[in-house]
Structures are given as C-alpha cells and as structure tokens.
Structure 1
Amino acid sequence: MSERKPYGRYKAGEEGEDMNLPEGKTCGDCAHCRRCCAMFGHIPADESCDWSPSRFREQQGGEV
C-alpha cells in the first residue's frame, strides 16, 4: 500500500476554507492526531481537518 499525499489547505474563498488548520500547523501539531490517524486515516502532514467544525487543538507540553 502506498502512502497518500497530505490533505492540503483550501484556497481563500473556497468551500472548506474554514477547515484549514492554523497557518504553519499540521495534524501532527494537534492534540487529536493519534486518534484521527489511527481511526480515520489521517496522516500527521495533513493541513486541513475533516471534523466540522474543525477540532484542531494544539498539543500542550505532555500530550501525545
């Protein structure tokens, strides 16, 4: 099985733009990364969230 390309950011004005992660952040920076990658097929390099509204929450010190 080949690895898929990361989900990129939506362009300004494009439907789904509100699902973009903060500029410079990826799923790997999110507190929910392990769960989303294990259960929903995300990869840490994704730049947009599938949850609506986006549930991106930056990892704090000890979170994994």
Structure 2
Amino acid sequence: MTSLIKYGSVAASRPIVEVLGIACITNMARGIQKVKHSHERVEETAPKASKDLCNMVAGIIENL
C-alpha cells in the first residue's frame, strides 16, 4: 500500500492535478491505549469509524 500511495502521489503531482490523502486509524499507538492490541479490536473499531469516514468523504465530494 505504501508504494501505491508513493507512486500515485508522484504521478498526480503534476500542476493540473490536486491530491487529497485520507487515512482512517482504527487503533491507537502502542502505549497510549489501555487495552491490549488485537486484530479483533481493529475489526470492532472499523465499522464504528466507517460511518464518520463516509460522511466526511461525502461532505468533501459535495464541496468539490
């Protein structure tokens, strides 16, 4: 994924193309969160963040 972002950004960095990057973080950094890290926690958090992320992207698109 990192290389896709890297090369996509380079290709889109031409003067006529605008680029917007969005990331959805589904778990906190180690040491910040009080509960143990696990894939199950990520799967639990992702749907909760999904609605907010979709609303944010819809709002951005409406304002283009």
TM-score where L is the length of structure 1: 0.26
The higher relative CO (CA closer than 8 Å, separation ≥ 6) is in: 1
* Structure with max Cα Rg: 2
